[in-house]
């Protein structure tokens, strides 16, 4: 079979498609014939050696796929050959066949395309864990999303709207602000042009923001934190700006506020039953028409490196998907 392989840390152009063996399947794994694989911003860091996992070279990048079950391990009873599924993993997605632990594999809703399914598990799983498990949002709460036009950001925007929250989409360009407005955001802020703290306070009113989903980090985190309400919550999800935020610890003291980490991949491994129930709830919301992945652009497998470049250059609104010839 063919796989996209990272043999040395570097740029997307250093990635190569080579012949590799079909992975062996352990007793608790599912072998999937991949139809589509979606990228996430951390994938662009992984191929540079900047991820938080410390992967050993060489490796196959990518962490979410959709496809058809080819084979199941002897201890797997949830799936059978021919089932349409979506799945996530730490790495190993961008190849023609991939083996995934069964707890990370989910049946795909009948009406969901392969491209949508590939773009679903990581973004929506992360957003649900952040907003529901960590922040416990409820109708009427205000939710600000830093990096709202990306995969997780858009998922958080749609979820907050589904729970009848006030949504404030914070992005880095007018084009992305227009995109989020079209997605139903109540307010949009271009933090490259506007004062983020003042704009958030204006959007939220005197009570402040209840929940902030921060995918950006850097020098945007502190001013957004200053706009929080009493007992508000800052959800730390990522650092797309390239730098880790530094927040004075007197701020959470004065606001009675919480800074909460959201590391969905570890959460889903430590609490697989909760993660599976989360995905069940997400699929129900999808079937109700309240959630829908936005596919920014698709690439054929032969041009997979271009998908990484598209994401690295921060042009993406929604998700980038790689298609396989099947």
pLDDT band at 241 (very low <50, low <70, confident <90, very high): confident
- Mean pLDDT, rounded, for 168-179: 96
Residue 138 clears pLDDT 90, i.e. is over it:
yes
- Delimit the CATH 3.90.180.10 region(s) of the chain: 2-120+293-323
| Cβ 319 vs Cβ 123: under 8 Å | yes
CB atoms within 10 A of CB 190: 18
Q: What radius of gyration, in Å, describes the C-alpha atoms of the chain?
A: 19
Summarised one tens digit per residue, pLDDT across range 275-324 is 999 999 999 999 999 999 999 999 999 999 999 999 988 889 999 999 99
Summarised one tens digit per residue, pLDDT across range 69-122 is 999 999 999 999 999 999 999 999 999 999 999 999 999 999 999 999 999 999
CATH class assigned to 123-265:
alpha beta
CATH architecture, range 2-120+293-323: Alpha-Beta Complex (3.90)
- Beta carbons within 8 Å of 64's beta carbon, 6+ residues apart: 37, 38, 40, 86, 87, 88, 89, 93, 118, 119, 120, 121, 122
- Delimit the CATH 3.40.50.720 region(s) of the chain: 123-265
Which helix (H) or strand (E) segment holds residue 35: the answer is strand 29-39
Summarised one tens digit per residue, pLDDT across range 242-256 is 888 899 999 999 999
Which helix (H) or strand (E) segment holds residue 88: the answer is strand 84-88
Where is mean pLDDT largest: 26-40, 195-209, 239-253?
A: 26-40
């Amino acid at each position: 079979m063919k796989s996209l392989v990272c043999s040395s840390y570097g740029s997307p152009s250093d990635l190569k498609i080579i012949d590799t063996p079909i992975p062996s399947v352990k007793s608790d794994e599912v072998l999937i014939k991949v139809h589509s694989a979606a990228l996430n911003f951390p994938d662009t860091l992984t191929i540079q050696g900047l991820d938080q996992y410390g992967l050993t070279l060489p490796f196959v990048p990518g962490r979410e796929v959709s496809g058809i079950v080819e084979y199941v391990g002897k201890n797997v009873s949830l799936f059978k050959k021919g089932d349409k599924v979506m799945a996530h993993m730490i790495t190993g997605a961008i190849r023609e066949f991939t083996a995934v632990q069964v707890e990370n594999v989910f049946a795909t809703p009948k009406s969901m395309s392969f491209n949508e399914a590939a773009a679903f598990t990581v973004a929506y799983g992360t957003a649900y864990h952040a907003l529901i498990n960590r922040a416990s949002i409820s109708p009427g709460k205000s939710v600000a999303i830093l990096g709202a036009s990306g995969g997780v950001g858009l998922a958080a925007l749609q979820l907050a709207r589904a729970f009848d929250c006030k949504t404030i989409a914070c992005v880095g360009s007018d084009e992305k602000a227009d995109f989020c407005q079209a997605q139903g955001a109540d307010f949009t802020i271009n933090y490259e042009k506007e004062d983020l703290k003042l704009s958030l306070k204006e959007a939220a009113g005197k009570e402040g923001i209840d929940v902030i989903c921060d995918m950006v980090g850097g020098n945007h985190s502190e001013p957004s934190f200053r706009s929080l309400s009493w007992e508000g919550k800052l959800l730390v999800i990522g650092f797309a700006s390239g730098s880790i935020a530094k927040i004075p610890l007197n701020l959470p003291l004065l606001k009675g506020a919480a800074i909460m980490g959201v590391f969905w991949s570890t959460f889903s491994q430590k609490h697989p039953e909760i993660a599976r129930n989360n995905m069940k709830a997400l699929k129900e919301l999808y079937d109700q028409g309240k959630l829908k992945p936005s596919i920014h652009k698709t690439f054929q497998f032969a041009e997979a490196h271009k998908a990484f470049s598209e994401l690295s250059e921060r042009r993406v609104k929604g998700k980038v998907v790689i298609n396989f010839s099947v």
